[in-house]
């Protein structure tokens, strides 16, 4: 019974990783990015030419403009604020590290303020 429980827990973790689309890129793996699909893949090799096919474990994925090698650092531009209409007012909420949550501070046009979780 104990082994079955461990297998069920392990299966659940694997399924959660697959569903969430989580990728773990180990040291030495070569990761590529497809801009049109907004997708990251680990590739064993690319097709010749502009590299539209990314081959991995006997399967491949196609990127029309060609797969681009991901360097060590990837820059991402996140907005500093987002707009929100709540409780009949327009609010501007802070974005921290590209994320908002229920504790993100928001300010209205009429100088009211509150946390996002209080407004929605």
Mean of pLDDT values over 91-101: 82
Which residue, among 43, 48, 116, has the nearest Cα to 85 in the 3D structure?
A: 116
Give start and end residues of each alpha helix (H) in 21-66.
Answer: none
Q: Which two tokens stand for residue 23?
A: 């990728």
**For residue 30, is pLDDT > 80?**
no
Mean pLDDT for the stretch of residues 61-87:
78
Delimit the domains of the chain by residue range: 2-69, 81-119
Q: What is the mean pLDDT of residues 99-112?
A: 83
Which residues, 6 or more positions from 43, have their beta carbon under 8 angstroms from its beta carbon?
A: 30, 31, 32, 54, 55, 56, 67
Residue appearing with tokens 């392990």: 10
Q: For residue range 32-60, what is the model confidence (pLDDT) as tens digits? A: 888 888 888 888 888 888 889 999 888 89
């Amino acid at each position: 019974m104990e082994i079955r429980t461990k297998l069920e827990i392990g299966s659940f973790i694997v399924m959660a990783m697959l569903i969430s689309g989580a990728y773990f890129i180990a040291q030495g793996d070569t990761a590529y990015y497809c801009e049109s699909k907004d997708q990251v893949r680990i590739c064993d090799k690319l097709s010749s030419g502009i590299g539209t096919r990314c081959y991995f474990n006997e399967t491949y994925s196609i990127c029309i403009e060609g797969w681009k090698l991901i360097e060590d650092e990837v820059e991402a531009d996140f907005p500093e604020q987002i707009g929100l209409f709540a409780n009949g007012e327009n609010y501007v909420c802070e974005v921290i590290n590209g994320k908002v949550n229920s504790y993100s501070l928001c300010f209205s046009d009429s100088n009211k303020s509150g946390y996002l979780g209080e407004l929605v």
